Amino acid sequence: MPTLKELARRPNPLTGGHSACAGCGFPQAVRLVLMSIDEPVVVAGATGCMEVTTTTYPNTAWTVPFIHNAFENAAATISGVEAAYQALRRKGKIDREIRFVAFGGDGGTYDIGLQSLSGAVERGHRFLYVCYDNQAYMNTGIQRSSATPFGASTTTSPAGDVVPGKQQRRKDLTAIMAAHGIPYVAQSTIAHWQDLTRKVKRATEVDGPSFINVLAPCRLGWGTDPSQTIRLAELAAETCAWPLFEVDHGQWKVTYVPKNKLAIEEYLKPQERFRHVFEDETGQLLAAIQKDVDEQWQALLARAGLGKDGKA
């Protein structure tokens, strides 16, 4: 596992000068992922904040080869790039090792791009798909996605007088990807750089498709201070709202068990999208969110063969 000092010696895959918001969370995901890979990489990106802010013509922030095709097809696109690589290698036209990475936001991954992703990993292409998950359609103005957590207010699940934000649970995409039986699936955040870089290393080592779901807070969509982006990703893990785990060849492993699991309000309170939760004097909504988080955390522990206290 590389240290930050080692990473600092690597070329920067994504320069400054892109137009992501101040305090955005995806650039750290991109840099941490790509700097963890020793081999040259070719990247595909789905339509979304990352794509529009880093590739505004006539410029590109990418210092590695990058292709954007459409919103829902980053996985299919990279599968074609990888197929070309296999064919050209067989013909002796290319002789070096290259790794393939696709990035998509939660909209392009959980929702409109799910079929393309499922198909590409089922076919066994050797590539890593990274979802930078900011839990809503941020590029189009903070609409709910199936990654939006229960209770969050978005522009298409606004907290109103009758309906208090999104009424459905977040889809557990990481588990869905694990159900494909592909060699490696993991979940991490931009704040846990050691965890993430180790997982990326493992993901690009395995001979086949791999998937990592990376929580990348969005200060605009979450309604948080731009300086708090990394702190929020930490709190997501400390409250177990976003557990860190991996499924390596079918083996579920929780890679971080908080010593003192924090109450969910520690994570929700700084976020404007949950403000209504704290305006509810009955406390019912907060309790419901806590219950949801606890249930999912317990289910994960059970899956990984751990006890309710997170110990073996």
Partner 1 sequence: MNAPGKAVSSEKQASVTLPWTEMAEGGLVPRGGTAASVKTGAWRTGKMPVIDLSRCIHCLRCWIWCPDSAVILDGEKVTGFDYDHCKGCGICEQVCPPKVHAIQMVPEGVEG
Partner 2 sequence: MGGVNGHVVTQRRRMTMTGAEATAEAMRQIHPDVVAAYPITPQTDIVMRFARYVSDGVVQTEFVPVESEHSALSAVVGASAAGARAMTATSGPGFALMHEILYVASGYRLPIVMPVANRALSGPINIHGDHSDTMGSRDAGWIQIFSENAQEAYDNLIQAVRIAEDPSVRLPVQVTQDGFIITHGMEIVEVLTDAEVQQFVGTYEPERYLLDVERPMTVGALALQNSYFEVKRQLAEAMVNARRVIADVGEAFGRLSGRYYGLTEPYRMNDAELAVVVLGSTAGTAKVVVDELRNRGVKAGLVKIRVFRPFPAQNLRDLLRGTRAVGVLDRSDSVSGGLGGPVFAETKAALYGLPDPPVMTGYVYGLGGRDTTPEMIESVYEDLAELARRARDNYAEVVADAALAGHYLGVREPGQNGSPHRHGAAKLGER
132 near partner 1, rule: CB under 8 A: no
Ramachandran sector of residue 148 (left: φ over 0; alpha: ψ -120 to 50; beta: rest): beta
For residue 133, the SS3 value is strand
Task: Give the separation between CA 141 and CA 118, rounded to whole angstroms.
Answer: 27
Which residues fall within 8 angstroms of residue 97, CB to CB, at 6 or more apart?
A: 39, 40
The Cα–Cα gap between 163 and 285 comes to 11
Q: How far is the CB of 187 from partner 2 (least distance, A)?
A: 24
Q: How far is the CB of 311 from partner 2 (least distance, A)?
A: 41
C-beta of 95: minimal distance to partner 2 in Å? 11
- In the beta sheet, which residues pair with residue 44? 67, 102
- The DSSP element (H or E) to which 244 belongs, if any, is strand 244-248
Question: From the list 10, 23, 265, 298, which residue makes contact with partner 1 (rule: CB under 8 A)?
Answer: 23
| 120 touches partner 2 by CB under 8 A | yes
Instruction: Name the segment binding partner 1 (CB under 8 A); options: 55-63, 89-97, 240-248, 277-285.
Output: 55-63
Q: How far is the CB of 10 from partner 2 (least distance, A)?
A: 14
The pattern of x and - marking residues 40 through 69 that bind partner 2 according to CB under 8 A reads xxx-x------xx--xxxxxx-xxxxxxxx
CB-nearer residue toward partner 2: 23 or 119: 119
Q: Please report which helix (H) or strand (E) contains residue 121, including its range.
A: helix 114-122
Is 76 a residue that touches partner 2 (CB under 8 A)? yes
**Tokens found for residue 1:** 């596992």
Looking at residue 236, the DSSP 8-state letter turns out to be H
- Does position 183 bind partner 1 by CB under 8 A? no
Residues in the chain: 312
Question: At closest approach, how far in Å is the CB of 211 from partner 2?
Answer: 16
Please say whether the beta carbons of 289 and 264 come within 8 A.
yes
Q: Among 77, 148, 229, 255, which residue sits at the site for partner 1 (rule: CB under 8 A)? A: 229
Q: Is 60 in the site for partner 1 (CB under 8 A)?
A: yes
Cβ-based nearer residue to partner 1, 19 or 115: 19
Q: Which of 73, 157, 210, 239 binds partner 2 (CB under 8 A)?
A: 73
Check binding of 12 to partner 1 (CB under 8 A): yes
CB of 44 to partner 2, least distance (A): 7
| Count of residues interacting with partner 2 (CB under 8 A) | 48
Query: Per CB under 8 A, does 52 bind partner 1?
Result: no
The sign of the dihedral angle between the CA atoms of 71, 74, 75, 77 is positive
CB 151 within 8 A of CB 166: yes
